Amino acid sequence: MSTFIEGGNVQANGIRQHYLRYGGQHDSVKPVLLLIPGITSPAITWGFVAERLGADYDTYVLDVRGRGLSSTGPELDYSADTCADDISAFARAMGFDGYHLAGHSMGARFAVRSAARNPGAVKSLVLIDPPVSGPGRREYPSKLAWYVDSIRQAEQGMDAEAMRAFCPTWSLEQLQLRAEWLHTCYEPAIVRAFNDFHDVDFHQDLPKLTVPALLMVAGRGAVIQATDEAQILELQPRIQIARVPNAGHMIPWDDLEGFLGACRDFLARH
């Protein structure tokens, strides 16, 4: 049985923020979990993950501004600071007293900044394979052209087989969903986020964390290496590290059970 409850929109931080809700009810006593997807992942593409998390958590998957059904366009600010503030503004607009926060890739960068700025609201933090590139650091392993080329094709219309050229290991269902929704990713927002992977230092927020935090590392990914883990631990000694050995950067796409195991084990203790 599906745990999907509803989709909705709320005005927060000056924009329309769209969300998908799984696992909760109007009188739900489940803890609230906010999930922030990555750079070109509208909320609906994380539905298969939220379906499972909804068994234990009142789970909200957000469309980051410039993606999915949230506000988009040239007039908006897509900086890391503003996107991080979107998260806390969403929580306040929904009336959440406290919540668990998880983010994947770009979403993890926004989540750590939001948690550092709102220590009294966030109960725990899960950082899923965040880009650790930044000023003076090695480049993020993916290239901007991969994102831009696929978005432009999606804007013209593409099917799952055309998307396979960009995501060759994905299932047909995953490819179809990405082909359907990728056109909602506003190219300037994606370019800004990608450039910020190199221009904004992810590490600066780590020492400011006061909540329990988990760093989830893709065992077959190239985003976080052993030297990065050591530096992150030096900056935030209390952070826990979980490796999903059989997954690349898109961890739940490669190993959903491994992802859920690491995530649930941490959340259950906090």
149-180: pLDDT as tens digits: 999 999 999 999 999 999 999 999 999 999 99
Rounded to whole angstroms, the Cα distance separating 163 from 156 reads 13
Rounded to whole angstroms, the Cα distance separating 80 from 112 reads 11
Domains in the chain with CATH codes:
4-137+200-268 (3.40.50.1820)
pLDDT band at 29 (very low <50, low <70, confident <90, very high): confident
Contacts of 5 (CB under 8 A, 6+ apart): 21, 22, 23, 24, 25, 54
Cα of 229 vs its chain's centroid, Å: 19
Average pLDDT over residues 40-59: 97
Question: What value does the mean pLDDT of the chain take?
Answer: 96
Beta bridge partners of 34: 60, 101
